[in-house]
Amino acid sequence: MSHVIGIDLGTTYSCVAYLKQNKPEIIPNLDGHVVTPSVVSFTTDGQVLVGNLAQRQAVANPERTITAVKRLIGRKFDSPEVEEAKKRVPYRLEAAPNGDIMIMVDNQLISPQEISAIILSYLKACAEAYLGEKVSEAVITVPAHFNDHQRQATKDAASIAGLEVLRVINEPTAASLAFGLESNKNCRVAVFDMGGGTFDITILEIQDGVFNVLSTNGDTFLGGEDFDNRLVSWLLEDFKKETGLDLSQNKFSLQRIREAAERAKRELSFVFETEINLPFIAVDESGSKHILKKISRYKLEDLTRDLVWKTIPLIEQALEDARLRPENIDEIVLVGGQTRMPYLRQVVADFFHKEPRSGIDPDLIVAMGAAIQGGIIKGVMTDLAILLDVTPFSLGIETENDGYQIIIEKNTTIPTRKTMAFTTVEHNQVRVRIHVLEGENPVASMNKSLGWFDLIGIEPAPAGVPQIDVTFEIDADGILRVSARDAATGREQGMEIHYAAGLTRGEVEILKEKHRPFALPGKK
């Protein structure tokens, strides 16, 4: 039986694992590192670089070096998150004809799915080199608060890379699988997951091999990058005060500052003071300018305190949804590189009145859990038999007068299927439009549109007489499927689906044909 790999496709770093004698093991990349920078760079001579090699291009080649693409995948160009990203990234972002976001590289538009596919293709090649066999099946993780579009876009990226996705699993849930395998005990767990781009809090119960997610909450635009950005802004403002020079529009200088800020942030998790030294960062009529700055752990905490405390209301809501209090939680598992920050760890410990579990690397635990899930699917992990995840958002349809009828409530265990009956609002109406929404607001227009379709051929009748059965079905990957049926005629035909975002099936197939698998060194 060929191996199933587990992939943590992260905002800043990615990781891949597999099962070896029923234990998860990390697969190193081609440079020998256990994590791979989620970076793709296009060189001027036509090469495509991934990971460590691409990261080294960030200063010299910023407009062709794509970072943090996970923050863009599955989003619309005019979304607030993309508006914020446009201020930060050195590469160009453009709108696709359907309103999606695209990345411009040398006058060529590339979708976030294609960039993610390049990273996945590299991880696939690393696994094949390490295992000595072809790899075609994977379990891929996503943030618990990724919506339907973001999940489908991630699956499309994997498909383009030549991977069959056996399951899309939430990152905190994957981490809980790895924790559960190690701890081997029944308990209630809070998984606090803050990586480079996203934050999730998941409350779950482990009981005799059953992993039952009780609730989840989070923010898909809160993570380590935001902490980096605070340091970058502070350095830019300080430099401007000292020299009068504004480096915010200088892409080369800005990238150097960004790399130094991330490095300093990481160091301050282990030391109380570090130095940022950037010689020849700028020049004016008086000569060369440099940045030489000492920064303390306490200064970093002052700059980012509000980001840490933004997590607390989300934790409180997750506990309320699970009908639990902090003292009901037995274990706290920290996931993601940003959770190494001592101040963040202390805030979490104070909230729950207990120290988080240590001993599992927060950068590796998600990929390990994904590999375990692959073993469960293949039937080789019989002790961890059942995983009951939940949907992070309520789902429903628009009704008359901008109303919103929820059909599946948030934190419903998945997979799930629910049908609700509706009717017509006009006499002799032969067509209804089903507008699918995601969110919690009772006003339809205040929620996120996922798409719509028309049911055609309803038998003419007075308003309120026809019965239209609308069915929502969420699979184990968290992907939503919606159908509508006229109860009187049994008609379901004539359904035309218009996706609000994402690549079409045809576009994915074309990109699969065009995609070149990552070539191992020395091989063609």
- pLDDT number for residue 360: 80
Last residue of a domain, one of 340, 359, 390: 390
Structure tokens at 46: 């036509």
- Give the span between the Cα atoms of 176 and 206, in whole angstroms: 9
Residue 393 φ then ψ, to 5°: -130, 155
Is the Cβ–Cβ distance between 248 and 274 less than 8 Å? no
At residue 87, the 3 state secondary structure works out as helix
The Cα 325–Cα 313 span in angstroms is 13
The CATH number linked to 187 is 3.30.420.40
Cα 325 from Cα 351, distance rounded (Å): 10
Which pLDDT does position 73 carry in this prediction? 94
How many folded domains does the chain comprise?
Answer: 3
User: Both 474 and 485 in a single domain?
Assistant: yes
CB 478 within 8 A of CB 391: yes
- Answer yes or no: is 66 within a domain: yes
491 φ/ψ angles, rounded to the nearest 5 degrees? -75, 130
Among residues 378, 377, 380, 372, which one has the least CA distance to residue 184?
372
Judge if 230 and 98 occupy the same domain: no
The answer to whether residues 13 and 158 belong to one domain is yes
Q: Is residue 515 part of a domain?
A: no
Cα–Cα distances in Å, from 483 out to 147, 448, 458, 501?
19, 19, 14, 18
157: which 2 tokens? 């990226």
d(CA 76, CA 82): 7
Alpha-carbon distances, residue 514 vs 198, 221, 289, 504 (angstroms):
31, 31, 46, 15
Q: 48 CB contacts (<8 Å, ≥6 apart)? A: 40, 41, 42, 118
Supply the pLDDT for residue 497. Answer: 44
Task: Give me the pLDDT at residue 263, please.
Answer: 96
The answer to whether 390 and 190 have CB atoms below 8 angstroms apart is: no
Q: Which residues, 6 or more positions from 190, have their beta carbon under 8 angstroms from its beta carbon?
A: 201, 202, 203, 315, 318, 329, 331, 332, 333, 352
Distance CA 259, CA 55 (A): 10
Burial grade of 44 (CB within 10 A; 0-12, 13-18, 19 or more): exposed
Tokens of 126: 């690393």
Virtual torsion, Cα 173, 177, 180, 186, nearest 10 deg: 50
* Burial category of 383 from C-beta neighbours within 10 Å (exposed 0-12, middle 13-18, buried 19 and up): exposed
Give me the residue label for tokens 């003419």. 460
Q: Do 192 and 319 lie in a common domain?
A: yes
431 with 375, same domain: the answer is: no
Whether residues 16 and 128 fall in one domain: yes
Secondary structure of residue 437 in the 3-state scheme: strand
- Residue 509 domain flag: no
With 0.85 as the threshold, say if the pTM is over it. yes
pLDDT of residue 147: 86
Domain finish residue from 270, 305, 340: 305
Nearest to 437 by CA among 399, 478, 390: 399
Q: What is the CATH number of the domain that holds 269?
A: 3.90.640.10
Q: State whether residue 369 is helix, strand or coil.
A: helix
Residue 72 inside a domain? The answer is yes
**Same domain, yes or no: 235 and 202:** no
The secondary structure element, H or E, covering residue 129 is helix 112-131
Q: From the CB of residue 257, how many other CB atoms can be counted at a distance below 10 Å?
A: 24
Residues of the chain with pLDDT under 70: 1, 382-385, 493-501, 519-524
What is the C-alpha separation between 189 and 203, in angstroms, rounded?
A: 6
Instruction: Tell whether 8 and 134 lie within a shared domain.
Output: yes
Q: Is the peptide bond before 90 cis (omega within 30 degrees of 0)?
A: no
Task: Check: CB of residue 479 under 8 Å from CB of residue 437.
Answer: no
If you search the block for the tokens 């081997």, which residue do you land on?
Answer: 184
Q: Which two tokens stand for residue 465?
A: 């007489």
Residue 32 counted as domain residue: yes
Q: The domain containing residue 421 runs over which residues? A: 395-501
Are the C-beta atoms of 10 and 501 separated by less than 8 Å?
no
Whether 10 and 95 share a structural domain: yes
Q: What is the DSSP string of 238-252?
A: HHHHHHS---TT-HH
Q: For the segment 242-252, what is each residue's pLDDT rounded down to a tens digit?
A: 999 999 989 88
Q: How far apart are CA 89 and CA 390, in angstroms?
A: 33
Q: Does residue 37 fall inside a structural domain?
A: yes
Residues 278 and 336 in one domain: no
Any idea which residues carry the catalytic annotation? 8, 70, 171, 193
Residue 417 lies in a domain: yes
Q: What is the CATH number of the domain that holds 463?
A: 2.60.34.10
Please report whether residue 506 resides in a domain.
no
Domain identity same for 125 and 267:
no
Of the residues 390, 410, 439, the one at which a domain ends: 390
80 and 28 in a common domain: yes
